[in-house]
């Protein structure tokens, strides 16, 4: 009897090993296994098994099915019968003894199978799937080789049923942007990366989705020198703006280029007449719909690290600099280049938001879908998209559990929003 009990326990343990191997290899991340494959045969084998899930799952199911059949046969035919005989010897009615004997053994083995054969092995596999996969892959490869004829039959049969169900081709296992964001959040919460690093990585990912229009400083916020200005008039204008690079605009409103503050200072320090036209330099011109990464490459090649942004009709829309790109990466909340905070948390928990704050950053902050902003790029645009018109001062709208209130208008531009929770 002890031999039979030991044999059943061994089968249960074998079932647990198979279940653990199955879950570990399926759950293991290829990105973690690939760097180890060059120096670990187990990692290389785990990758091979993961790339052929049909054959691998067939192999595991063959082993688990055989273990289940043997365990059931031994439990009912041997241990159940022995317990029945013992119960009869103790004076229990034969019918009750038969029921209690087989039923008791089945319940006991089922309980042990669930704990040792399923739950504990699977929890071990989930705790460190890559390590378990590396250890168990060689044994799974041997089992797959030994059972090759049956595995091939099952694999073909499974593919045929999937084909009849309309499931064809291979599974799409590409990592999505949302999954990367989740991984970064988990790493930040787990202390693997700093919160600031998380914010910057998220900013880099957002950069690829933005255009020059999102990054630029809009025309109405750009202070410009007038073409043709000379002498005291030019000096006064340079002193008023006093930026390292100042755009030059002609009488028709077209931007001709920029003047460097250092060049103007050199002229004035030599007591020469300052001539804006003579100091004007050309800078690159980009479309307002140009991809942010393409703009970054243009700025990198430009000596002044600045570009003029024009729309498809040839109208000047704004300027973009490397500082604007850096702000996009670090986040508007961290880089207060506009001289005002993008978002402020008030004592009552509500948020005071500048209308120029990028819509994608605001959506991430509030955990609302980015589609809420439509084709707009700013927080003000998000509200315009929701209203479908220019709202009046004090108007409110409810969106995804938040109340958006217009608290400041600058002409026809939404300057400030107050956002508070509905609760």
pLDDT in tens, 57-72: 777 877 877 777 777 6
CA dihedral sign, ordered 214, 219, 221, 222: positive
Q: What tokens does 327 get? A: 């702000």
pLDDT in tens, 282-307: 999 999 888 888 888 899 888 888 99
Question: Looking at residue 331, what is its pLDDT?
Answer: 67
Instruction: Flag whether pLDDT at 335 surpasses 60.
Output: no
Task: Give which of 343, 312, 320, 315 is closest to 419, Cα–Cα.
Answer: 343
CATH, domain 212-330, list 3.10.580.10, 3.40.50.2300, 3.20.20.105, 1.10.3720.10? 3.10.580.10
Q: What residues contact 369, with CB distance under 8 A and at least 6 apart?
A: 363, 400
Instruction: Flag whether pLDDT at 337 surpasses 50.
Output: no
Instruction: Flag whether pLDDT at 264 surpasses 70.
Output: yes
Yes or no: say if 20 and 122 are a contact pair by the CB < 8 Å rule. Answer: yes
Q: What's the CA gap between 151 and 144, in Å, rounded?
A: 7
User: Mean of the pLDDT values across residues 262-290?
Assistant: 90
- Identify the CATH number of the domain defined by range 343-421: 3.30.465.10
Confidence of residue 330 (pLDDT cuts 50, 70, 90): confident
Instruction: Flag whether pLDDT at 260 surpasses 70.
Output: yes
Higher pLDDT, 17 or 85: 17
The least confident of 47-56, 307-316, 321-330 is 47-56
Instruction: Flag whether pLDDT at 248 surpasses 90.
Output: yes
Domain coordinates of the chain in residue numbers?
2-164, 177-207, 212-330, 343-421
SS3 content of the chain, % helix, strand, coil (to 5): 60, 15, 25
Higher pLDDT, 169 or 264: 264
Q: What's the CA gap between 48 and 414, in Å, rounded?
A: 57
Q: What's the CA gap between 381 and 165, in Å, rounded?
A: 45
Instruction: Flag whether pLDDT at 77 surpasses 80.
Output: no
Question: Looking at residue 339, what is its pLDDT?
Answer: 60
Question: Looking at residue 214, what is its pLDDT?
Answer: 84
User: Mean of the pLDDT values across residues 370-390?
Assistant: 88
CA atoms within a 13 Å half-sphere pointing along the CA-CB vector of 404:
27
User: Mean of the pLDDT values across residues 151-168?
Assistant: 79
User: Mean of the pLDDT values across residues 359-381?
Assistant: 86
Question: Looking at residue 93, what is its pLDDT?
Answer: 65
Q: What's the CA gap between 380 and 390, in Å, rounded?
A: 10
Question: Looking at residue 284, what is its pLDDT?
Answer: 92
Instruction: Flag whether pLDDT at 269 surpasses 50.
Output: yes
User: Mean of the pLDDT values across residues 11-26?
Assistant: 84
Question: Looking at residue 308, what is its pLDDT?
Answer: 92
Higher pLDDT, 371 or 174: 371
User: Mean of the pLDDT values across residues 367-386?
Assistant: 87
Pairing relationship of beta strands 217-218 and 316-321 according to DSSP bridges: antiparallel
Question: Looking at residue 279, what is its pLDDT?
Answer: 92
Instruction: Flag whether pLDDT at 90 surpasses 70.
Output: no
Q: What's the pTM value of the predicted model, to 2 decimals?
A: 0.56
Question: Looking at residue 1, what is its pLDDT?
Answer: 58
pLDDT in tens, 182-192: 777 777 777 77
Higher pLDDT, 168 or 53: 53
Instruction: Flag whether pLDDT at 162 surpasses 70.
Output: yes
Question: Looking at residue 198, what is its pLDDT?
Answer: 75
């Amino acid at each position: 009897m002890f031999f039979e009990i030991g044999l059943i326990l061994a089968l249960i343990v074998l079932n647990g090993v198979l279940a653990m191997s199955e879950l570990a290899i399926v759950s293991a991340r290829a990105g973690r296994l690939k760097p180890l494959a060059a120096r670990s045969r187990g990692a290389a084998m785990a990758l091979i098994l993961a790339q052929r899930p049909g054959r691998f799952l067939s192999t595991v199911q063959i082993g688990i099915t055989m273990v289940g059949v043997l365990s059931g046969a031994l439990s009912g035919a041997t241990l159940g019968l022995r317990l029945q005989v013992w119960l009869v010897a103790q004076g229990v009615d034969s019918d009750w003894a038969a029921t209690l004997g087989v039923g008791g053994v089945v319940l006991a083995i089922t309980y042990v199978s669930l704990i040792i054969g399923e739950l504990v092995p699977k929890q071990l596999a989930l705790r460190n799937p890559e390590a378990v996969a590396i250890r168990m892959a060689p044994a799974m490869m041997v089992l797959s080789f030994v059972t090759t004829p049956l595995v091939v039959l099952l694999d073909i049969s499974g593919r045929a049923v999937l084909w009849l169900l309309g499931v064809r081709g291979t599974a799409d296992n590409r990592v999505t942007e949302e999954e990367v964001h989740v991984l970064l959040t988990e790493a930040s919460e787990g202390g693997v990366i700093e919160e600031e690093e998380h914010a910057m990585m998220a900013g880099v990912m957002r950069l690829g989705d933005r255009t020059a229009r999102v990054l630029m400083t809009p025309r109405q916020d750009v202070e410009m020198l007038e073409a043709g200005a000379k002498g005291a008039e030019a000096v006064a204008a340079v002193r008023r703006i006093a930026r390292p690079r100042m755009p030059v605009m002609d009488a028709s409103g077209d931007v001709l280029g920029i003047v460097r503050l250092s060049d103007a200072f050199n002229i004035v320090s030599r007591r020469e007449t300052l001539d804006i036209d003579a100091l004007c330099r050309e800078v690159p011109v980009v479309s307002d719909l140009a991809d942010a990464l393409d703009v970054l490459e243009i700025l990198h090649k430009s000596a002044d690290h600045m570009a003029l942004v024009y729309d498809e009709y040839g109208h000047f829309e704004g300027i973009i600099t490397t500082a604007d790109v850096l702000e996009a990466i670090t986040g508007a909340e961290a880089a207060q280049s506009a001289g005002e905070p993008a978002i402020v948390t008030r004592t009552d928990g509500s948020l005071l938001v500048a209308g120029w704050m990028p819509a994608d950053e605001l959506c991430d902050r509030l955990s609302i879908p980015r589609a809420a902003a439509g084709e707009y790029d700013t927080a003000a645009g998000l509200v315009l998209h929701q209203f479908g018109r220019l709202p009046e001062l004090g108007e409110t709208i409810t969106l995804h559990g938040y109340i958006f209130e217009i608290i400041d208008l600058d002409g026809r531009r939404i300057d400030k929003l107050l956002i508070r929770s509905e609760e």
